[in-house]
């Protein structure tokens, strides 16, 4: 009986089977795609969730309001923290259970390291004259500013230039270069570089022993240009190079070499010399600049602090200069004029002709520093404070500060530090504090005003290292709080990129600038006191020198529950021991770009760090995937239930005849469910084959296993969808089933248009209209909910590099889910409309026979379909928005217009789809003569 019924009504059975086939196959493939996407997303998170360290410990009060409110950590924050954690606290934290590595960083301060930038001017040499002078008028372009640089001169002569060797190997005046002319020596560079005053006698009238001592007056300002002017003397016809003196601020920080090596592989980055070891500590030794042949007791002594220095400049800047060839008159008189006390005024007063421009990168000056064995004094170093922000609609606006007080650049003798980088005259964002050294001479014990303090040490470079060779981590999780990485800042919009010339904004040499260079010079923890105790004024660094502790926890592999428990246990121990310290869990963090508004409304993007990104992603992925499964399954089931209900309704007369012939309620129930089961089995078998082929084609893992699921899914969907229709069929009495339903007559309302008749037809059978609209409403509602969940997922996850990568991976499954839910909802509505048209075939034939054209009948059907689609679509949009509001607050925040627009667009797409599908049965009906349709009725 079941198979005969299926064969007799094979078109309807095939249609229902096609629906089951599409629903079951699509659901299985979709869930497979979602599962694969979820697994891929989880894999990305697991692989990228760990950076160099898992827990960051900072001093009390180091967390800014922006960090606290937004769950962020400021990038490169170490450059603004100088002490706050004691060594005892560090040692106790290091001894806690579960800690694999505890790496401290103690920022001491910025030293000024001197170098020279070579500028090639060979192209401007006049080969026809024996002696000539070139003047360079340079400026430095760094960050967002341009700063004038003191004029530079190049003296070119074909005669040899020698250095006075009177003082032997320990010549204290290596700049005393002398040109030999006819057996006479002229100190051609001394007077301009070292004795600009031009004085011949001192204040007592005594003759000054020139050129032996520097009698220059102190500059009026640290940024006075004239005292910075320099002359380079170049003999012969070789390469002509101007040597421009420059200074670089380098952040000196103390580390534990063993811990740093475990954390980032510091020992693998050495380019010359050697790396630091645990045995490195200050040594009291003779002054390296004094004559080693002198008696030991007569030589000055200093504490010597071992350091390693970066081989790369971590500040950026470009020097460009206009070159003029000066009119010197008779070239033969130049040596005498340059070796005169009046050389300064003579050279500065010369006129010239511009012959071109030259450029040089400031980093070449940093490379001029001796690779190993170099010594630096610590007469002064500087510490800087943090940058302050205020939140605006455009992002985080940076607050500027007034110019730094001139006194911070002075030594104890009130002498300004020469060659303070020109950028320090620019806009200030940080407080800068100078720390002058004691005046203990060469004694271990200080007295008078420095009693109880220590002498200032010398810094000795034992090796150079390349920070770009440090051990790398995933770009998606690399926390930009690393000790040696400069911050990454780019233009946030077209104006910002234009202001930066489409280049990243890098730290410059402005200590009070927005971006500070990270640690460049490293020493050991044992060297801290030799540096901090050598300052005249005690600071907090004396007792609490450590700026941060980076902790790697034992047994952590990612953000799995076990790893999270271990990290939280360590963080909890630290908080319990020292409640005032700032403890941040950084495992699972990711760079989160923030828009920063600089002066002149220049917007840039800076990679701050969002904490706990990986954990939020995993939770959001699990929630979204579960909701996708449920919603798509519900839409599939409702679509099939609607199709089965329509199929049973079309067999109303047949079922009534069976009841009149004595069929019982259970027999009718078994008949209908048996037919649906047979259709489900056939559709499931075919769907399994299709699913296997598509899975293999799309490269989905486990295609065979997932294809085998199609058969039970199809059977379950068919039986579940048929329960309600079968139950309703058994509720009909024999006479009710065979008697056509009659609607009570009401007062006639004239209809004067096709649109009006379409509306009346929809209102005449409200149950059928509601049934037809319900399928589409569910589809649009599911679309709206899925769209909101997708937006909420992206809002929850995006905003960091790791989150953006996850969104890109999960996007396809979201879109397929949304499209499937909408298509199945529209298919259910079309099915009801097609069945309704077939049931009203006689009515349409009467209209056709009484003069209605085929075009008018087609318009009538299309208007009914459009009205049904609009009703279902708009209802579904309202239901979907209501459901989203019930799911959780904040999902629609800032996205309401987007969601409403998308829901309306989905409604219009459903209208177009319904009308397009209806055109097929309309054309088929138009080919049947009205007489035939009336004869059937």
**Mean per-residue pLDDT, 672-683:** 71
The yes-or-no verdict on residue 157 having pLDDT over 60 is yes
Q: How confident is the model at residue 172 (pLDDT cuts 50, 70, 90)?
A: very low
Given a contact cutoff of 8 angstroms between Cβ atoms, the answer to whether 430 and 80 are in contact is yes
Global pTM exceeds 0.85: no
The yes-or-no verdict on residue 852 having pLDDT over 90 is no
Work out the widest C-alpha separation in the chain, in whole angstroms: 143
pLDDT of residue 586: 80
How far apart, in whole angstroms, are the C-alpha atoms of residue 695 and residue 711? Answer: 15
pLDDT of residue 459: 92
Given a contact cutoff of 8 angstroms between Cβ atoms, the answer to whether 873 and 783 are in contact is no
The yes-or-no verdict on residue 66 having pLDDT over 70 is yes
- What does the block give as tokens for 171? 């010549």
The yes-or-no verdict on residue 753 having pLDDT over 80 is no
Cα angle 452, 455, 456; round to 5: 135
Higher pLDDT, 710 or 139: 139
pLDDT of residue 367: 78
Torsions phi, psi for 838 (to 5 deg): -65, -40
Q: What's the pLDDT tens digit per position in 793-819?
A: 665 566 655 555 555 555 565 666 667
The yes-or-no verdict on residue 386 having pLDDT over 80 is yes
Higher pLDDT, 891 or 424: 424
Distances (CA, A) of 914 to 775, 781, 918: 12, 17, 6
The yes-or-no verdict on residue 555 having pLDDT over 50 is yes
Q: What is the DSSP string of 761-777?
A: HHHHSHHHHHHHHHHHH
Query: Residues near 795 by Cβ (< 8 Å), separated by ≥ 6?
Result: 891, 895
Tokens 């007799």 locate to 8
Mean pLDDT of the chain: 78
Share of the chain above pLDDT 70, in %: 66
Given a contact cutoff of 8 angstroms between Cβ atoms, the answer to whether 317 and 472 are in contact is no
Q: What is the 3-state secondary structure (H, E, C) of 658-685?
A: HHHCCCCHHHHHHHHHHHHHHHHHHHHH
pLDDT of residue 169: 44
Tally Cβ neighbours within 10 Å of residue 274. 14
Given a contact cutoff of 8 angstroms between Cβ atoms, the answer to whether 757 and 751 are in contact is yes
Q: What's the pLDDT tens digit per position in 251-267?
A: 999 999 999 999 888 89
pLDDT of residue 41: 59
pLDDT of residue 898: 73
The yes-or-no verdict on residue 170 having pLDDT over 50 is no
Cα angle 478, 483, 489; round to 5: 60
pLDDT of residue 652: 64
pLDDT of residue 20: 61
pLDDT of residue 878: 83
pLDDT of residue 663: 72
Tally Cβ neighbours within 10 Å of residue 399. 11
Q: What's the pLDDT tens digit per position in 412-441?
A: 767 777 788 999 999 999 999 999 999 887
Peptide bond into 180 cis (omega under 30): no
Indicate the SS3 state at residue 265. Answer: coil
Secondary element (H or E) of residue 722: helix 710-730
For CA atoms 489, 493, 496, 499, give the dihedral sign.
Answer: positive
Q: Lowest-pLDDT range, 174-183, 208-217, 451-460, 825-834?
A: 208-217
Given a contact cutoff of 8 angstroms between Cβ atoms, the answer to whether 126 and 325 are in contact is yes
pLDDT of residue 522: 95
């Amino acid at each position: 009986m079941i198979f005969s019924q299926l064969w007799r009504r094979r078109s309807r059975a095939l249609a229902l089977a096609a629906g089951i086939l599409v629903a079951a196959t699509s659901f299985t493939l979709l869930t497979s795609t979602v599962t694969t996407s979820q697994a891929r997303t989880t894999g990305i998170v697991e692989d990228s969730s760990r950076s160099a360290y898992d827990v960051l410990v900072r001093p009390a009060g180091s967390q800014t309001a922006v960090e606290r409110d937004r769950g962020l950590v400021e990038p490169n924050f170490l450059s603004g923290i100088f002490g706050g954690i004691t060594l005892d606290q560090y040692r106790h934290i290091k001894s806690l259970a579960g800690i694999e590595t505890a790496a401290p960083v103690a920022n001491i301060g910025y030293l000024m390291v001197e170098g020279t930038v070579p500028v090639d001017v060979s192209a401007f040499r006049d080969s026809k004259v024996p002696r000539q002078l070139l003047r360079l008028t340079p400026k430095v372009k760094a960050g967002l500013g341009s700063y004038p640089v003191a004029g530079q001169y190049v003296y070119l002569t074909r005669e040899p230039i020698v250095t006075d060797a009177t003082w032997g190997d320990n010549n204290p005046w290596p700049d005393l270069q002398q040109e030999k002319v006819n057996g006479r020596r002229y100190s051609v560079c001394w007077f301009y570089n070292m004795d600009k005053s031009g004085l011949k006698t001192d204040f007592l009238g005594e003759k000054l022993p020139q050129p032996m001592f520097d009698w220059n007056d102190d500059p009026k300002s640290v940024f006075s240009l004239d005292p910075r002017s320099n002359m380079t003397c170049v003999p012969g016809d070789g390469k002509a190079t101007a040597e421009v003196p420059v200074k670089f601020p380098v952040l000196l920080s103390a580390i534990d070499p063993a811990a740093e090596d475990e954390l980032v592989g510091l020992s693998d980055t050495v380019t010359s010399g050697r790396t630091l070891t645990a045995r490195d500590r200050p040594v009291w030794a003779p002054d390296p600049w004094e004559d080693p042949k002198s008696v030991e007791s007569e030589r000055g002594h200093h504490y010597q602090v071992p350091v390693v220095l970066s081989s790369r400049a971590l500040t950026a800047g470009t020097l460009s200069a206009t070159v003029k060839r000066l009119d010197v008159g008779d070239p033969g008189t130049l040596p005498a004029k340059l070796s005169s006390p009046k050389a300064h005024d003579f050279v500065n007063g010369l006129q010239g002709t511009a012959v071109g421009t030259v450029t040089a990168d400031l980093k070449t000056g940093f490379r001029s520093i001796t690779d190993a064995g170099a010594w630096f004094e610590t007469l002064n170093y500087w510490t800087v404070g943090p940058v302050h922000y205020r939140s605006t609609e455009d992002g985080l606006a940076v607050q500027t500060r007034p110019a730094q007080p001139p006194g911070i650049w002075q030594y104890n003798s009130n002498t300004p530090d020469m060659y303070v980088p020109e950028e320090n005259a620019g806009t200030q964002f940080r407080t800068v504090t100078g720390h002058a050294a004691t005046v203990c001479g060469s004694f271990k014990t200080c007295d008078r005003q420095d009693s109880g303090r220590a002498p200032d040490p010398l810094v000795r470079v034992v090796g150079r290292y390349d920070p770009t060779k440090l051990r790398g981590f995933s770009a998606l999780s690399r926390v930009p709080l690393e000790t040696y990485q400069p911050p990454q800042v780019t233009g946030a919009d077209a104006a910002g990129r234009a202001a930066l010339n489409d280049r990243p904004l890098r730290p410059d040499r402005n200590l009070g600038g927005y971006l500070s260079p990270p640690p460049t010079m490293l020493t050991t923890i044992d060297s801290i006191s030799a540096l901090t105790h050598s300052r005249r004024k005690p600071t907090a660094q004396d007792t609490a020198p450590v700026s941060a502790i980076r902790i790697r926890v034992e047994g952590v592999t990612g953000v799995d529950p076990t790893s999270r428990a271990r990290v939280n246990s360590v963080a909890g121990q630290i908080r319990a021991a020292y409640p005032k310290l700032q403890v941040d869990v950084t495992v699972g963090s990711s760079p989160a770009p923030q828009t920063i508004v600089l002066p002149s409304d220049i917007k840039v993007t800076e990679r701050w760090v969002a904490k706990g990104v990986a954990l939020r992603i995993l939770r959001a992925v699990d929630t979204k995937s579960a909701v996708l499964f449920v919603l798509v399954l519900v839409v599939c089931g409702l679509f099939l239930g609607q199709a089965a209900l329509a199929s049973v309704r079309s067999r109303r007369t047949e079922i009534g005849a069976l009841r009149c012939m004595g069929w019982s309620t259970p027999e009718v129930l078994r008949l209908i469910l048996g037919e649906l089961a047979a259709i489900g089995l056939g559709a499931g078998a075919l769907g399994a084959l299709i699913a296997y082929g598509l899975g293999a084609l799309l490269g989905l893992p486990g295609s065979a296993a997932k294809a085998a699921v199609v058969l039970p899914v199809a059977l379950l969907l068919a039986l579940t969808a048929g329960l309600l229709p079968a139950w309703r069929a058994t509720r009909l009495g024999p006479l009710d089933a065979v008697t056509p339903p009659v609607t009570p007559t009401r007062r006639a309302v004239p209809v004067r248009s096709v649109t009006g008749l379409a509306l009346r037809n929809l209102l005449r059978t409200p149950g059928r209209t509601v049934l037809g609209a319900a399928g589409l409403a569910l589809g649009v509602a599911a679309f709206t909910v899925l769209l909101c969940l997708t937006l909420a997922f992206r809002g929850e996850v995006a905003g960091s590099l790791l989150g953006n990568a996850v969104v890109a991976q999960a996007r396809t499954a979201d879109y397929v889910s949304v499209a499937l839910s909408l298509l199945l909802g529209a298919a259910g509505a079309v099915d009801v409309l097609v069945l309704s048209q077939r049931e009203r075939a006689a009515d349409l034939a009467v209209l056709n026979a009484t003069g209605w054209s085929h075009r008018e009948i087609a318009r009538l059907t299309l208007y009914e379909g459009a009205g049904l689609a609009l009703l279902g679509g708009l209802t579904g949009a309202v239901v979907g928005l209501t459901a989203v509001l019930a799911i959780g607050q904040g999902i629609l925040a800032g996205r309401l217009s987007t969601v409403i627009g998308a829901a309306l667009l989905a409604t219009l797409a459903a209208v177009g789809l319904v009308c397009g599908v209806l055109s097929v049965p309309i054309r088929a009906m138009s080919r049947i003569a009205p007489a035939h349709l009336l004869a059937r009725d």
